[in-house]
Chains A and B, each alone.
Chain A
Amino acid sequence: MNASIIQSRPDFAAIAAWIPQGSSVLDLGCGDGSLLRYLRETREVRGYGVEISDANIAACIANGVNVIQNDLDAGLADFESDSFDFVILSQTLQATRHTEALMNEIVRVGREGIISFPNFGYWKNRLQIMQGHMPVSKQLPYQWYDTPNVHLCTLNDFELLCDHLGIRILDRHVMNEGGDVNLLPNLRGSVAVYRFKREA
Chain B
Amino acid sequence: MSGSVGIVSAQRASFEEPLHFACGKVLPRYELMYETYGTLNAAKSNAILICHALSGHHHVAGTYADQPKNLGWWDNMVGPGKPIDTDHFFVIGLNNLGGCHGSSGPSSINPETGKPYGSHFPMVTVEDWVQAQARLADQLGIRQFAAIIGGSLGGMQAMQWSIAYPERVRNVLAIATAPHLTTENIAFNDVARNAILTDPDFHGGDFYQHGVVPTRGLRLARMLGHITYLSDDAMAGKFGRGLRSGEYKYGYDIEFEVESYLRYQGDKFAAYFDANTYLLMTKALDYFDPARHTEHNLARAFANVQANYLVVSFSSDWRFSPDRSREIVKALLHNKRDVSYAEITSQHGHDSFLMQDEQYFAVMRNYLERVAEGVAA
- Cβ-closest chain A residue relative to B327: A78
In the complex, B330 has a CB within 8 A of chain A? yes
> Which of B333, B334, B343, B366 sits near A69, CB closer than 8 Å?
B343
Q: Does A48 contact B (CB under 8 A)?
A: yes
Q: Is the CB of B329 within 8 A of A57?
A: no
20 A-B pairs (CB sep. < 8 Å):
A48-B333, A54-B344, A57-B363, A58-B342, A58-B363, A60-B340, A61-B340, A61-B342, A61-B366, A65-B340, A66-B338, A66-B340, A68-B333, A68-B340, A68-B341, A70-B341, A78-B329, A78-B330, A79-B333, A83-B333
Interface-central residue, B326, B336, B342, B344, by most chain A CB under 10 Å: B342
How far is it, in angstroms, between the C-alpha of A54 and the C-alpha of B346 when the chains are bound?
A: 12
> For residue B69, which residues in chain A have a CB less than 8 angstroms away from its CB?
none
User: Which B positions have Cβ atoms within 8 angstroms of A?
Assistant: 310, 326, 329-330, 333-334, 336, 338-345, 359, 362-363, 366-367, 369-370
Q: A66-B340, A78-B330 are in contact. List 15 more A-B contacts (CB 8 A).
A: A46-B336, A54-B359, A60-B340, A61-B340, A61-B366, A61-B370, A62-B366, A62-B369, A64-B370, A67-B341, A68-B329, A68-B341, A69-B341, A69-B343, A83-B333
The reply to whether the CB of A199 lies closer than 8 angstroms to some CB of chain B is: no
Closest 9 CB pairs of A and B: A62-B366, A61-B366, A58-B362, A68-B341, A69-B343, A54-B359, A78-B330, A64-B370, A67-B340
Determine the chain A residues whose CB is within 8 A of the CB of B362 once the complex forms.
58
Contacts of A78 in B (CB 8 A): 326, 329-330, 333
Tell which of B330, B333, B336, B363 touches A61, judged by Cβ atoms closer than 8 Å. Answer: B363
Name which residue of chain A comes closest to B341, CB basis. A68
Could you say which residues of chain B place their CB within 8 Å of the CB of A59? 366
B330 contacts which chain A residues (CB < 8 A)? 78
Does A41 sit at the interface, judged by CB under 8 A?
A: no
Q: Select the residue from B339, B340, B342, B345 with max chain A CB neighbours within 10 A.
A: B340
- Contact: A58 with B329, CB < 8 Å? no
Chain A nearest CB, measured from B241 CB (Å)? 33
Contacts of B369 in A (CB 8 A): 62
Docked CA distance A27–B310 (Å): 18
Within the assembled complex, what's the spacing in Å between the Cα atoms of A80 and B341? 17
**Complex CA–CA separation, A24 to B338 (angstroms):** 12
Closest residue of A by beta carbon distance from B313 = A69
Residues of B near A80 (CB, < 8 A) are 333-334
| Inter-chain contact A61/B341, CB cutoff 8 Å | no
Tell me which residues across on chain B come within 8 A of A66, comparing CB atoms.
338-340
Chain A residues contacting B343 (CB-CB under 8 Å) are 69
Give chain A nearest CB distance to B147 CB in angstroms: 14
Within 8 A of B (CB), among A53-106: 54, 57-62, 64-70, 78-80, 83
Nearest residue in B to A80 (C-beta to C-beta)? B334
